[in-house]
Homo-oligomer: A and B are copies of this chain.
Amino acid sequence: MMRDSRLSSVLHGLLHMIGAGEPVTSEQLAQAMATNPVVVRRVMAGLREQGLVHSEKGHGGGWTLERDPADITLAEIYRAVGAPTIVAIGHRSENPGCLVEQAVNDALGDTFREVEALFLKRLGAVTLDALAKDFKRRLAKHKQNLEDQIHAAK
């Protein structure tokens, strides 16, 4: 099954925006996200509607973060990109009259709901800021590794 990567994609873009400090164009984001500017605008439009980001036209325009990253959870971002289907497995039909179907749907349906709840709970526990800090840690470690290699080569 083709998996929806809008959340992953937009997070990538947001981290870039946090690091930038000035408006980032769709063109730049598209390059960072390895996609097309139109796709960027499409997915970012959802975030703008929720007041998470702001867009500006013309020279010096582009996308900026509208709220404090420490107050934005991944769950909120997930909803902003359209709250795509979480569980890729489903019923053959909803609202079935068949008793067999009801038994099956009940057994699976409870599991689906539980799984979705866990997913949202986990996303709700991570802020954009936490993600950005994690990235910075990786960056610092990466630089350290490079330096270590240089020293070792001396």
**Residues A115-145 near B (CB distance < 8 A):** 115, 118-119, 122-123, 126, 131, 134-135, 138-139, 142
Closest to A74 in B: B107
- A114 on interface, CB distance cutoff 8 Å: yes
A135 and B100 contact, CB distance less than 8 A: yes
B101 and A12 contact, CB distance less than 8 A: yes
Q: How large, as a class, is the contact surface on chain A? A: 35 or more
**Residues A27-67 near B (CB distance < 8 A):** 32-35
Main SS class of interface, A:
helix
Known contacts A33-B92, A91-B5, A131 near B103 by CB under 8 Å = yes
B142 and A99 contact, CB distance less than 8 A: yes
- A86 on interface, CB distance cutoff 8 Å: yes
Per the bound structure, the CA–CA distance linking A135 and B102 in Å amounts to 8
A131 and B107 contact, CB distance less than 8 A: yes
Q: Interface residues, chain A, CB within 8 Å of chain B?
A: 1, 3-5, 7-9, 11-12, 15-16, 32-35, 74, 84-93, 99-108, 110-111, 114-115, 118-119, 122-123, 126, 131, 134-135, 138-139, 142
